[in-house]
């Protein structure tokens, strides 16, 4: 075919261009696009200014896998959004959201500034778009991610330097492991030394475990810690911001390792250990619900590996390692049972299993296990958590059925929880006072948060005077436990002895404190005018300030802070008694205490009326 001027026409010039149905960000992130300009997904994630439906050469360019150095400081800088830029590129790269927000702050109103701050932290926590490096190009927090295969060299290059890895692992076993001791320390050290000597012969699932441990530990350390100097790039990047971004990147890489090891069909003990650590990390740094699907996979893998039964041919060390992992999967289910009160997990109680030995790591060898010590061990907290799992599973089964309205079961479970509290006092307190010689008091505080949470769940149906089942003792119990949870939250934040455990406030512990704040507000509004509530109101106001401070490194605390602001505005000290609204408030508080709404800002209905009512949908 010839053109009008007699020349040969180019077939490509007449080829009909394919219509672009999704914007570039949605195509690269594999999200549903509503095809608006800007689309809804980009608007929610802070990329409205760069939402584009134009095709670029980047869309058809394969990812270039280039070897990198073991110290990822230079690579990390590509994973942190720059502070400022002059133009907004249309390619699907990390957008300069933070810089734009800072430059626009002076031109925005108060509401827009709040939205800008939200977008800023959404950008800091959002995974990078493809184009910077192979690992960051995959939605690796999802087990169903599909993406290009990543070379082992590129995966290993994401790790910090050996010096920093040594520091993170040491910190993990000194300050974190006792709270989730699924690993046998000496065994892990042998594996770690072997990896450092021959890094390219590593088991990918074990490497996933290492990445998730480093991610978790990085989130527990102060950004100013001089031991982390190798991680921080030079200005203008904020250390807190880099810590959040780099920690998430390490967690993403852990999922890459599991995916490339085909963990769906290839089950090893290292797979089970890595999954448990990933879920524990998610529960304390993302949100509990994000680990729900992975928790089911881990349970089935644990059963497939027969970790709940003692297999023939295994030495005592390997047997106890499997028992520890099974105890770990049970304690992780405690988060789901205690925070999602309508989930009945009593079926897990029917799975018979032998628990690990309550001994120190040094007491377990391939030849045998030493006799249990009469003193607290590295496994003692885990053993108490397993007991809590059994108790909370029974209680959640109870409150999910009609017996939740009966008084006799209430007394029974009250007595069971109180007995556990006495055990903790005996084990971790010195004559009823905190032990300043070790971390015992921190363990006591952590365990107490479970007890107070269970008290609140048990007494909730009986705590309001407008209810036909009202019990004054239940209202008093709710006030006491709510105040107790808030005080533990305060101590972990303020007391120097508990400073190494401040990271706990970025996850589950703050969710419990939020539950306590809602319950306390409900009870205070129900008290007679003569009741002195000033000390409780002060505790709630201080919780609000702590949540605001913690929100810079915790998405959970950021969302909790918003909810507490609503409570303070609507039910603060100046408006404790709402005229003719007690029954309506009771129905509203039922909506507020549905904890599932606390996990995602997109799920929560922020369009409240002047008295905090949630409009009917």
Task: Give tens-digit pLDDT for 119-175.
Answer: 432 332 332 333 344 444 444 455 555 556 889 999 999 999 999 999 999 999 999
Residues 6+ apart with CB under 8 A from 570: 608, 611, 612
Which of 426-435, 482-491, 554-563 is the most confident on average?
482-491
Residue 356 within a domain: no
CB count, 10 Å around CB of 191? 17
Residue 371 has φ and ψ, to the nearest 5°, of -65, 145
pLDDT tens-place string over residues 526-544: 899 899 999 999 999 999 9
Q: In whole numbers, what is the pLDDT of the chain averaged over residues?
A: 76
430 bridge partner residues? 433
Residue 455 pLDDT more than 50? yes
Query: How many residues does the structure list for the chain?
Result: 617
398-420: average pLDDT: 91
Residue 449 within a domain: yes
- H or E stretch covering 278: helix 269-285
Residue 445 pLDDT more than 50? yes
601-605: average pLDDT: 35
Residue 330 pLDDT more than 60? yes
| 283: its two tokens | 């529960």
Greater model confidence, 35 or 492: 492
Alpha carbon of residue 176 to chain centroid? 15
Alpha carbon of residue 316 to chain centroid? 33
369 bridge partner residues? 364
Q: Which pLDDT value is given to residue 233?
A: 62
In whole angstroms, give the CA distance from residue 511 to residue 501: 16
Helix spans in 405-439 (H): 407-428
544 near 489, Cβ under 8 Å?
Answer: no
Q: What is the DSSP string of 335-393?
A: HHHHHSTT---GGGGGS--PPPPSS-GGGB-SS-BPPPPSS--TTHHHHHHHHHHHHHH
Residue 459 within a domain: yes
* 3-state secondary structure string across 197-214: HCHHHCCHHHHHHHHHHH
Residue 323 pLDDT more than 90? yes
Q: Which pLDDT value is given to residue 129?
A: 37
Q: Which pLDDT value is given to residue 224?
A: 79
72-95: average pLDDT: 36
Q: Which pLDDT value is given to residue 112?
A: 44
217-222: average pLDDT: 90
Helix (H, G, I), strand (E, B), or coil: what is residue 429? strand
Residue 93 pLDDT more than 60? no
Residue 403 within a domain: no
335-364: average pLDDT: 86
61 near 111, Cβ under 8 Å?
Answer: no
38 — pLDDT class (breaks 50, 70, 90): confident
Helix spans in 51-184 (H): 73-76, 97-104, 110-125, 152-156, 162-171
- Tell me which residue has tokens 């500034």: 113
Residue 77 pLDDT more than 70? no
Q: Which pLDDT value is given to residue 465?
A: 87
Q: Which pLDDT value is given to residue 251?
A: 92
Number of domains in the chain: 1
96-104: average pLDDT: 33
Q: What is the dihedral of CA 604, 608, 612, 617, to 10 degrees?
A: -70
Q: Which pLDDT value is given to residue 147?
A: 59
Residue 537 within a domain: yes
Q: Which pLDDT value is given to residue 146?
A: 52
Greater model confidence, 8 or 153: 153
In whole angstroms, give the CA distance from residue 414 to residue 408: 10
Residue 565 within a domain: yes
pLDDT tens-place string over residues 264-315: 888 899 999 999 999 999 888 877 777 888 999 999 999 999 999 988 889 9
Q: Which pTM was predicted?
A: 0.71
Greater model confidence, 332 or 108: 332
Residue 270 within a domain: no
Q: Which pLDDT value is given to residue 467?
A: 84
Lowest mean pLDDT among 322-326, 519-523, 566-570: 566-570
Q: Which pLDDT value is given to residue 144?
A: 54
Residue 554 within a domain: yes
Q: Which pLDDT value is given to residue 290?
A: 78
Prior bond to 282 cis, omega within 30? no
Range of the domain at 468: 423-572
- H or E stretch covering 434: strand 433-434
Residue 344 pLDDT more than 90? no
Q: Which pLDDT value is given to residue 158?
A: 92
In whole angstroms, give the CA distance from residue 581 to residue 593: 18
Give ∠ CA 69-75-81 in degrees, rounded to 5: 175
List Cα–Cα distances, 372 to 253, 358, 362, in angstroms. Answer: 38, 6, 12
If you compute the radius of gyration of the chain from its CA atoms, what whole number of angstroms results? Answer: 26
Q: Which pLDDT value is given to residue 569?
A: 78
Q: Which pLDDT value is given to residue 354?
A: 93
């Amino acid at each position: 075919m010839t053109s009008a001027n007699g020349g040969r026409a180019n077939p490509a010039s007449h080829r009909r261009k394919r219509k672009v149905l999704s914007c570039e960000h949605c195509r690269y992130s594999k999200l549903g696009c509503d095809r608006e300009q800007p689309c809804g997904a980009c608007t929610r994630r802070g990329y409205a200014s760069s939402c584009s439906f134009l095709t670029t050469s980047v869309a058809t360019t394969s990812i270039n896998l280039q070897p990198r150095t073991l110290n990822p400081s230079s690579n990390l800088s590509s994973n942190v959004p720059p502070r400022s830029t002059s133009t907004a590129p249309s390619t699907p790269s990390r957008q300069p959201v933070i810089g734009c927000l800072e430059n626009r702050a002076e031109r925005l109103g108060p509401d827009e500034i709040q939205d800008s701050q939200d977008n800023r932290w959404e950008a800091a926590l959002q995974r990078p778009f493809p184009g910077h490096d192979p690992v960051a190009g995959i939605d690796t927090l999802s087990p169903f991610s599909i993406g290009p295969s990543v070379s082992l060299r590129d995966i290993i290059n994401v790790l910090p330097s050996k010096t920093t890895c040594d520091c993170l692992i040491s910190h993990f076993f000194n300050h974190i492991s006792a709270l989730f001791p699924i690993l046998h320390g000496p065994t892990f050290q042998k594996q770690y030394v072997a990896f450092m000597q021959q890094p390219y012969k590593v088991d990918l699932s074990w490497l996933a475990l290492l990445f998730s441990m480093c991610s978790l530990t990085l989130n527990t350390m102060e950004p100013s810690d001089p031991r982390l100097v190798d991680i921080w790039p030079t200005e203008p990047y904020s250390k807190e911001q880099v810590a959040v971004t780099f920690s998430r990147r390490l967690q993403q890489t852990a999922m890459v390792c599991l995916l490339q090891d085909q963990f769906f069909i290839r089950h090893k003990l290292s797979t089970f250990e890595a999954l448990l650590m990933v879920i524990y990390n998610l529960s304390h740094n993302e949100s509990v619900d994000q680990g729900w699907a992975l928790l089911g996979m881990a349970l089935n893998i644990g059963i497939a590996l027969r970790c709940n039964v003692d297999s023939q041919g295994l030495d005592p060390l390997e047997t106890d390692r499997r028992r520890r992992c099974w105890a770990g999967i049970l304690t992780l289910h405690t988060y789901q049972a205690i925070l999602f009160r309508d989930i009945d997990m009593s079926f897990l109680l029917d799975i018979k299993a032998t628990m690990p030995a309550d001994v120190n790591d040094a007491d377990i060898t391939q030849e045998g296990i030493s006799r249990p010590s009469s003193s607290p061990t590295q496994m003692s907290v885990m053993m108490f958590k397993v007991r809590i799992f059994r108790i909370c599973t029974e209680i959640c089964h109870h409150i999910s059925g009609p017996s939740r309205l009966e008084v006799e079961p209430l007394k029974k479970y009250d007595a069971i929880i109180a007995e556990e509290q006495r055990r903790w006092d005996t084990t971790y307190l010195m004559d009823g006072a905190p032990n300043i010689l070790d971390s015992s008091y921190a363990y006591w505080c952590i365990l107490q948060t479970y007890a107070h949470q269970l008290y609140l769940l048990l007494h909730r149906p009986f705590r309001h005077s407008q209810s036909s089942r009202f019990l004054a003792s239940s209202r008093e119990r709710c006030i006491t436990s709510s105040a107790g949870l808030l005080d533990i939250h305060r101590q972990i934040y303020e007391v120097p002895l508990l400073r190494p455990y401040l990271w706990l406030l970025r996850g589950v512990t703050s969710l419990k404190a939020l539950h306590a704040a809602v319950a306390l507000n409900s009870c205070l509004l129900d008290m007679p005018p003569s009741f002195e509530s000033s000390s409780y109101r002060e505790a709630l106001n201080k919780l609000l300030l702590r949540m605001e401070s913690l929100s810079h490194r915790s998405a959970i605390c950021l969302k909790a802070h918003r909810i507490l602001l609503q409570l303070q505005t609507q039910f603060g000290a100046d408006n404790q008694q709402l005229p003719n609204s007690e029954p309506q408030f009771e129905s509203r508080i039922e909506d507020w205490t549905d904890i599932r709404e606390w996990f995602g800002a997109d799920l929560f209905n922020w369009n409240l009326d002047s008295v905090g009512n949630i409009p009917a949908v």
